[in-house]
Amino acid sequence: MQSLTAIRTRVEDRVLFATLDHPPLNLIGPELARDLVSIVRHLESAPDEIRVVVFDSAVPRYFSAHLDVTRIKELNAELARLAPGTTTADLYSRISGLSQVSIAVIAGHVGGAGSEFALACDMRFASRERAVFTQMEVGVGLLAGAGAIQHLTRLMGRSRALEVLLSADDHTADLAERYGWVNRALPDADLWPFVDALARRIAKFPLEGITQTRRRVNRIALPEASAVNEDLRIFARLLKLPETRARIAALLAAGMQTDSALEAAFGAAVGQLESAHAGDAPSPAATP
């Protein structure tokens, strides 16, 4: 595997432990994209060596806050290493389609494209005390473009998915568990021992049984890649609207993408934004 800079890895008992370590927020930007592309390529070429991959975070308070809205061109350049024109939605679809079981361990804030990364994994387990979930896109005039609409509607049902997406608010781990956003919310002290034991247990089983079971479940439950990319095309169109640009500019000026009070309560922050029209907002970057 190519040398990684934003994700720390180790392999034990056919489990790849991949720890996001790109402070302060583990933003979905070029660094994480570069490492995720390398991990996906490695896993696609070595299915028998590794049977489970577990993603967690070394960054205090954050699993992955959201997309890095200031570096989308650089992000796209890293994604193109998978194939020309690859999008975040395509990368996440590749994670969902791996032969290996994928598990996200969430013990902090996760939102936007970071939440969509976790949703692309097969399973999600959350710290009851520390995990916070946000799909904030509607609050800035966007929609969730990399899978959340597709996944949350399947996981929660129509009404709860609309509540989560349209409120653009912060949600606790207990609510996320009740709604189906995560498999389980566990006390913080129990979270890692539970996931570690589950991952190692699954990794002991014959690969073909794991692969075929995932393939059959995914055929029922996963969205078509074309549906997710249609969401992303709408995201790109909305990103060009003046009010969307003005809202993003206001959030950046107030501390977005820093370890700030705004990022710690993103849902509250977007709820306080006033309606505005951009006259001098920065031009949006290319499609993520």
Residues with catalytic roles: 116, 137
Least Cα distance to 119 among 179, 78, 79, 70 occurs for 179
* Rounded-to-integer distance, Cα 42 and Cα 5, Å: 16
DSSP 140: G
Q: Work out the burial of residue 284: count CB atoms within 10 Å of its CB; fewer than 13 is exposed, 13-18 middle, 19 or more buried.
A: middle
From edge to edge, which strands make up the β-sheet containing 132-134?
Answer: 62-64, 109-111, 132-134, 170-172
Both tokens assigned to 149: 């609409």
Residue 284 region by backbone torsions, left for phi larger than 0, else alpha for psi between -120 and 50, else beta: beta
